Amino acid sequence: MPSPDPSARPHAVFDFDGVVVRHDSTVELLRRRLRTRPWLLPVAAGPLVGYAVTSVAPPLRAPASRVVVRAALVGARRADVEDRARRLGAELATDPAWRVDAAVDAMRAHLADGDVTVVSAGLAVTVRAFLDALGLPEVRVVASRIAGGLGGSLLTDHTYGAHKVVRAAAAGLTAWDHAYTDAASDFPLLERARHRHLVNARGAVVAAARLRWPDVEVLTW
């Protein structure tokens, strides 16, 4: 495992959905779109069912997510999707049912003597708007993006699972002092951390993590 440069400022990496916010922000964005455009439900129904079954086939979750997003964003311009995603992020920052105050406090504490990056499968514009609304412009964001496509918009640079490490490396991060996540798919992030933190994780995730890292910290926020 690579180690952070001891001469560099301490660096903490946070997952977003399930850690900094309580639910999946991209799912919420798509839910709102489908609610106002019910005629898209027949198009999205098959992909949604496929996504649901990936709970027993995690390697398929990333491609299933891209298919769901593509189906739900049929006919949507990239600029419009990003605008809605940006407004959603700002809204979630003000909603105590979504915002995890303990996570925000932890980010502020790490910023007091180091750097913080949110590495998320969620949309970068949503995460950025959330952080900016909380007065945290110095927190870096490495997250998924939306691209314009034929007949609509699609998910690109999907920052999920091991690809989080790839995207972080492209942003100049190869190891970090702290990593916070709730998901087994983020074990590659934990692997490169000196200190590992599981936040509100399911029992099976905690058990699997403890087999690999007995000193993992389990947090309930």
Residue 126 located in a structural domain: yes
In a domain, 47, yes or no: yes
pLDDT of the residue at 56: 46
How confident is the model at residue 153, as a pLDDT?
A: 85
> Is 4 part of any domain?
no
pLDDT at 47: 47
1: in domain: no
- Determine, yes or no, domain membership for 106: yes
Give the range of the structural domain holding residue 119, as residue numbers without chain letter: 11-219
Q: 6 lies in a domain?
A: no
pLDDT (0 to 100) of residue 190: 97
Question: Does 90 map to a domain?
Answer: yes
**Three-state secondary structure readout of the chain:** CCCCCCCCCCEEEECCECCCECCCHHHHHHHHHHHHCHHHHHHHHHHHHHHHHHHHCHHHHHHHHHHHHHHHCECCCHHHHHHHHHHHHHHHHCCCCCECHHHHHHHHHHHCCCEEEEEEEEEHHHHHHHHHHCCCCCCEEEEEEEEEECCEEEEECCCCCCHHHHHHHHCCCCCEEEEEECCHHHHHHHHCEEEEEEECCCHHHHHHHHHHCCCCEEECC
pLDDT at 39: 64
Per-residue confidence in pLDDT tens, the chain, 221 aa = 555 555 578 999 999 999 999 999 998 988 898 777 776 656 555 545 455 545 544 555 666 666 776 777 778 899 999 999 999 999 999 999 999 999 999 999 999 999 999 999 999 999 999 999 999 999 999 999 999 877 888 888 899 999 999 999 999 999 999 999 999 999 999 999 999 999 999 999 999 999 999 999 999 99
- pLDDT number for residue 5: 57
Instruction: Please count the structural domains in the chain.
Output: 1
Read off the CATH number of the domain in which 29 is found.
3.40.50.1000
**Which pLDDT belongs to residue 148?**
86
Residue 96 belongs to a domain: yes
